[in-house]
């Protein structure tokens, strides 16, 4: 009975072994990760002498792959939590979740600045004309550059720019010949004479004189001669600048009118003496470069001693239209000078007398 039981067990084992061998499909097996063999498991799986001396038929199982983990290692790994390949370690997650103690430096931002060149401004008309003169271009191009100006301005600009171009081409005044320098100065004088009538009339100098012969030929009274006696004739030299001259046939004419006013030191609004001269006509063969007026007046006999102020007014009527009643303010010049009549003025000083009493 006992032998039959063991025989049945042996048959079952054989059938189980055959089923196992059939269930494993033939072909190359997937290579598992190599795990070092466990010495404890290896020792426990060694065949004993009892199995070798067994009377029953033992069917050997197919050899397991050398890289297959041992049952003990597999059992230990089954209790561990499988780690996903994409999952970060806990320490890495903790360090990532914690705020950084030091702020991260900001990444430099690349800025692109586009600089546009400023628009070039065109040259002024005077610069264009000067360049044309220096380069000796045709006169048409020179006048074309200055066409935006009025005729008087164009004439003045051409005179000045011609002088600048001549200095540039000759290398300076020191290198100009006397003949070229004479031509150069003549052009400036012509332009100055044409602009006098547009300038302000000026009384350049005025003084009392002992005698007056001509322009610049006079004898001014000394500073200590600051007073006149009643009935004495006073000579006043007045030098005029920026006067105009008008051409009449082969002559040049200048028309001026003068007025003399004397004010008392106590009344500067109402003149004591108001003397106006007739229109004076000065004729010369060439345009005058200088001009003067000799005012003469006798000191009134009844003029009391004291300090006076003389005001002289000169009006240029050369360019005044016929029938004009007055001239522009720019053609009128005024100047004053002080003088005394009857010797130096001595004013009595007020002296306050204080009687002192002596104490007993």
pLDDT tens column, 211-228: 999 999 999 988 766 578
Report which of residues 245 and 18 the model is more confident about. 245
- pTM, two decimal places: 0.58
Instruction: Identify the structural domains of the chain with CATH numbers, from first to last.
Output: 1-22+37-64 (no CATH), 125-197 (no CATH), 202-341 (2.60.40.10)
Tally the C-alpha atoms within 13 A of residue 266's C-alpha that lie toward its C-beta.
Answer: 3
| Strand-pair partners of 255 | 281
> Of 242, 240, 243, 246, which Cα lies nearest the Cα of 321?
246
Cα-Cα-Cα-Cα dihedral sign, residues 170, 174, 175, 176: positive
pLDDT digit string (tens) for 153-181? 999 999 999 999 988 888 888 999 999 99
Q: Are strands 291-298 and 251-264 parallel, antiparallel or unpaired?
A: unpaired
Give per-residue pLDDT as tens, 289-318.
889 999 988 888 888 888 889 999 999 999
| 4, pLDDT greater than 80 | no
- pLDDT band of 55, cuts 50, 70, 90: very low
Asked whether the predicted pLDDT for residue 45 surpasses 90, the reply is no
């Amino acid at each position: 009975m006992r032998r039959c039981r063991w025989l049945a067990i042996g048959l079952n084992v054989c059938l189980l072994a055959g089923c196992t061998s059939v269930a494993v499909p033939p072909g190359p097996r997937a290579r598992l990760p190599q795990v070092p063999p466990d010495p404890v498991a290896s020792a426990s799986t060694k065949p004993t002498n009892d199995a070798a001396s067994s009377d029953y038929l033992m069917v050997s199982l197919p050899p397991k792959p050398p890289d297959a983990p041992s049952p003990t290692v597999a059992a230990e790994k089954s209790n561990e939590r499988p780690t996903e390949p994409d999952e970060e370690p806990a320490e890495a997650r903790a360090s990532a979740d914690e705020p950084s103690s030091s702020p991260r430096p900001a990444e430099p931002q690349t800025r692109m600045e586009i600089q546009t060149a400023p628009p070039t401004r065109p040259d002024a008309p005077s610069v264009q004309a000067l360049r044309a003169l220096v380069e000796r271009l045709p006169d048409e191009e020179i006048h074309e550059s200055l066409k935006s100006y009025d005729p008087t301005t164009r004439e003045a600009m051409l005179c000045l720019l011609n002088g600048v171009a001549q200095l540039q081409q000759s290398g300076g005044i020191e290198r100009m010949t006397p003949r070229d320098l004479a031509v150069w100065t003549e052009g400036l004088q012509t332009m100055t004479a044409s602009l006098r009538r547009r300038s302000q009339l000026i009384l350049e100098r005025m003084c009392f004189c002992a005698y007056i012969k001509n322009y610049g030929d006079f004898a001014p009274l000394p500073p200590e001669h600051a007073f006149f006696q009643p009935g004495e004739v006073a000579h006043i030299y007045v030098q005029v600048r920026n006067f105009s001259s008008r051409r009449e046939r082969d002559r040049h004419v200048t028309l001026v009118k003068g007025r003399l006013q004397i004010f008392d030191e106590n009344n500067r609004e109402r003149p004591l003496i108001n003397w106006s001269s007739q229109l004076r006509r000065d004729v010369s063969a060439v345009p005058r470069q200088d001009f003067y007026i000799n005012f003469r007046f006798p000191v009134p006999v009844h003029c009391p001693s004291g300090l006076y102020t003389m005001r002289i007014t000169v009006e240029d009527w050369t360019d005044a239209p016929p029938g004009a009643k007055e001239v522009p303010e720019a053609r009128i010049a005024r100047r004053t000078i002080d003088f005394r009549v009857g010797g130096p003025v001595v004013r009595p000083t007020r002296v306050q007398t204080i009687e002192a009493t002596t104490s007993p």
